[in-house]
């Protein structure tokens, strides 16, 4: 067992997005210094990190610089090549491991792994070729075709109404390996964030209820408005998956709750997750601080929620009215007493791009929901809560 890493030492990060930014800020609050390896010149994480190594994820020289700087390294983005983690692991502590990330990066491997643990997923078929796509079982549609790799926030997916549409969807997604998942009659979509150390101790936060718009998370509501027994089962399942993966780090397990009561794993994200951002403002320990604690082999923090919370994603659309660019009315957002604004430092707003989030923290769930509705009204974000 390796020794804990003391504050004042360097931690490394692969990836320069907003998750990395929040990791770096949490690490610095605990007294660590952070080096970020990111191929982008001006990523959100690099803007706050103590050192930016401007290199590709598979650049051997860049990885060597990161390993020479940092005692341990993690990732903030599931599409960082697992090979990069393998290279780093020869020189420094790495969490999560390349092996566990490689499973979560590939929907085909991921689903097979989950099923092998005796855990339910939505009915699906593997599409390795166009012939597979042309001969799917009729009971798997209507459904959705998803690329096995490199898809997120609704990208790399195509809905299909019948078996005849599957081959065309497979072609439209580039003819690469994919899965076809049957649509589920949903009561809710929820997620569980789990943290697990190398020593084997693990914890979860309260279950989040998630609402999506155009394939992108719109709001997360905590606690999830689901049966307490289902919530407990989801938390237990998330820990079971982390243990089976021998996962070290912060992992998100997304679930479907079917109207018939079934709990089905949707997918895994081997990193902190958008649906866990509420933990910064409404939990005893945030998912990002916990990621730091795991990486440094420090004791896990408490995960209790000290209030009800609703997290509202702020996309680049909030900067546009019709085709005209405008700055959102942040003063009006901050005039809502329960609002906690987090902007990610991205220079260019684009429609569909995650630019920030607002967490509404209140003594009751009704109060948090009402405040979230007001935030959406002020920022012109469509849809209810």
Instruction: Note the pLDDT of residue 217.
Output: 96
Write the burial class of residue 367 (CB in 10 Å: 0-12 exposed, 13-18 middle, 19+ buried).
Answer: middle
Instruction: Note the pLDDT of residue 236.
Output: 98
Instruction: Note the pLDDT of residue 65.
Output: 97
What domains appear along the chain, each with residue ranges and CATH number? 10-94 (3.40.50.20), 123-182 (3.30.1490.20), 186-379 (3.30.470.20)
Low-confidence stretches of the chain (pLDDT beneath 50): none
Q: Which tokens is 244 given? A: 């089976």
Instruction: Note the pLDDT of residue 1.
Output: 58
pLDDT in tens, 171-186: 999 999 999 999 999 9
CA atoms within 13 A on the CB side of 207: 27
What's the whole-model pTM score?
0.96
Query: 204 with 235: CB under 8 angstroms?
Result: yes
C-beta neighbour count of 161 within 10 angstroms? 11
Alpha carbons 124 and 114: distance in angstroms, whole number: 13
């Amino acid at each position: 067992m390796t020794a804990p890493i003391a504050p004042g030492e360097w931690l490394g990060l692969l990836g320069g997005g907003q998750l990395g930014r929040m990791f770096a800020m949490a690490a610095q609050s605990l007294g660590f210094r952070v080096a970020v390896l990111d191929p982008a010149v001006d990523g959100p994480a690099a803007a706050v990190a103590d050192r930016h190594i401007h290199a590709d994820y598979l650049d051997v020289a860049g990885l060597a610089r990161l390993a020479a700087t940092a005692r341990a390294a993690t990732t903030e983005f599931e599409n960082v090549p697992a090979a990069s983690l393998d290279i780093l692991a020869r020189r420094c502590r790495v969490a999560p491991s390349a092996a566990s990330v490689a499973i979560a990066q590939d929907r085909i491997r991921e689903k097979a792994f989950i099923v092998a643990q005796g855990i339910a997923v939505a009915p699906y078929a593997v599409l390795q070729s166009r012939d597979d796509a042309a001969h799917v079982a009729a009971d798997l549609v209507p459904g959705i075709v998803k690329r096995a790799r490199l898809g997120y926030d609704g990208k790399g997916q195509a809905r299909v109404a019948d078996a005849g549409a599957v081959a065309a969807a497979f072609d439209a997604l580039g003819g690469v390996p994919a899965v076809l998942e049957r649509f589920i009659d949903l009561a809710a979509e929820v997620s569980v964030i789990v943290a697990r150390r190398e020593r084997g101790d693990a914890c979860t936060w309260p279950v989040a209820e998630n609402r999506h718009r155009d394939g992108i998370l719109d709001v997360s509501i905590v606690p999830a408005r689901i049966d307490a027994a289902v919530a407990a089962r989801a938390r237990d399942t998330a820990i079971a998956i982390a243990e089976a993966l021998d996962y070290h780090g912060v992992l998100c397990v997304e679930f479907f709750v079917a109207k018939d009561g079934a709990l089905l794993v949707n997918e895994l994200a081997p990193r902190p997750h958008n649906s866990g951002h509420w933990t910064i403002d409404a939990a005893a320990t945030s998912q990002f601080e916990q990621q730091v604690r795991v990486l440094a082999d420090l004791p896990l923090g408490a995960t209790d929620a000290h209030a009800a919370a609703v997290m509202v994603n702020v996309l680049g659309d909030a900067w546009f009215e019709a085709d005209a660019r405008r700055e959102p009315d942040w003063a009006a957002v901050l005039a809502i007493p329960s609002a906690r604004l987090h902007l990610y430092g991205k220079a260019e707003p684009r429609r569909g791009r995650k630019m920030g989030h607002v967490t509404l923290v209140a003594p009751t769930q009704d109060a948090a929901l009402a405040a979230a509705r007001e935030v959406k009204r002020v920022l012109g974000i469509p849809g209810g809560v």
